[in-house]
Structure 1
């Protein structure tokens, strides 16, 4: 079989699967048939099926999970406009299971910038948590959270592989009430790219959210580096006057 023949057959299979997704016969999170099963169904080689799945993955319609198979992609996630949600709450609201790999967790003395931001004395203990955040095992972002340890002593010993930082703060009576966010496009450095499964210097969406409590005091500084194909930022804007 010629290469062009394989490409034509793989494109046909990709179109048929894409059609099933578009009409709802395959829904986000559904597992596709195995390569062997599709090979028998379409009467083609597994090489042809593999090419079709690669085309669908490049288009963002499917995602392969090592050892589990290929699934219909859930599409980009994003907070509801004007609603402050934790990453865990965001994932579960869409039927996705959140998890994390803790890249850094510990305390350090507050520097002058942190002292001013949080309104604490220089040298006060500041907790820093850096995690690779995932939904259904797929990397979404690298999240770095910084806050005074006095806000919730329990965070120092918490296993944040599955725990929600917001939930720990809520339990300590330190609930974030609102956050001012900013975002910009940045290039992924090689180390972050490796964690997120993208090419070095690929575009990422960098967000920074400064959280305040009910008294208006800054309590948490959060910085996220999001894959642009798996996260959508949304906002509701109103015109004044």
Structure 2
């Protein structure tokens, strides 16, 4: 590490603090004034060390939050459809799910059109808070036609994979998903659920999932912490 001696000292101490878990993923570091005092370096020297750690991806800075430790970033491999649970397991992380709501209600006109069901026909709405090792990462709302997966209405989805439950309990296998992603910011309710600040960046994924015969079986809106999720895709040029 090619840093001035004082900056290298601060860098090494911060690396040690991160390695032993003094600053947990998602946590904010003390302010620069307090941090430079505890490390016995100037703020200018401290910023050199912090910038080096930022370049390595071990720290991030925010105009609103100051310096903080990024959470584990998740994301699907390019062109591969994975459930949230599968993404977590593939990274050796424990997926968690808290069910906030699981109710039957009439489909809206838009939902009926997208799911190819009759207007006001019954659907199951499931609101869930998804996490990694207990840390909230995603809030999602899923809508499923009751006639296509009746067993899902009473299924226990706590810490469970919805894709796996649909297949095992209802015989419904998700084959593909039409997925769009857009940027947004967290409102008061979402910030509280995801443990972030009001106005923090989030990524909103909107999906329609289909079986192999092209039947739409699920509408989903997934709201991820912007510092905890990355969407990847392979793009091909038409020839």
Q: Please, what TM-score do these two structures have when normalized by structure 1?
A: 0.73
**Structure 2, unpaired ranges of 5+:** 1-5, 24-36, 40-45, 60-68
* Equivalent residues in 2 for 1:44-55, closer than 5 Å: 48=38
Which residue is 2:108 aligned to? 111
Within the alignment, does 1:15 sit opposite 2:11 as a pair? yes
Which residue is 1:39 aligned to? none
Q: Distance in 1 between matches of 2:134 and 2:58?
A: 17
Q: Distance in 1 between matches of 2:220 and 2:121?
A: 19
Native 8 Å contact 2:70 2:227 kept in 1: no
Q: Distance in 2 between matches of 1:13 and 1:228?
A: 32
Structure 1 segments, 4+ long, off by >4 Å, are 11-14, 17-21
Give the CA deviation at 1:217: 1.7
Within the alignment, does 1:233 sit opposite 2:231 as a pair? yes
Within the alignment, does 1:176 sit opposite 2:168 as a pair? no
Native 8 Å contact 1:204 1:227 kept in 2: yes
Change (3 A) 1:190 1:97: same
Change (3 A) 1:156 1:235: same
* Corresponding residue SS for 2:156: coil
Which residue is 1:148 aligned to? 145
Within the alignment, does 1:32 sit opposite 2:20 as a pair? yes
Native 8 Å contact 1:188 1:202 kept in 2: yes
Within the alignment, does 1:129 sit opposite 2:129 as a pair? no
Q: Alpha-carbon deviations, 1:26-52, whole Å to 9, x = none? A: 9xxxx61669xxxxxxxxxxx948xx9
* Corresponding residue SS for 2:147: helix
Native 8 Å contact 1:210 1:218 kept in 2: yes
**Count of residue pairs brought into register by the alignment:** 202
Q: Distance in 1 between matches of 2:227 and 2:202?
A: 9
* Equivalent residues in 2 for 1:202-241, closer than 5 Å: 202-241=200-239
Provide the aligned C-alpha RMSD in A.
Answer: 3.2
Q: Please, what TM-score do these two structures have when normalized by structure 2?
A: 0.74
Within the alignment, does 1:200 sit opposite 2:188 as a pair? no
Which residue is 1:165 aligned to? 162
Instruction: Pick from 53, 73, 80 the counterpart of residue 76 of structure 1.
Output: 73
Q: Distance in 1 between matches of 2:71 and 2:111?
A: 38
Native 8 Å contact 2:71 2:227 kept in 1: no
**Structure 1, unpaired ranges of 5+:** 1-8, 36-46, 63-71
Give the CA deviation at 1:115: 1.8
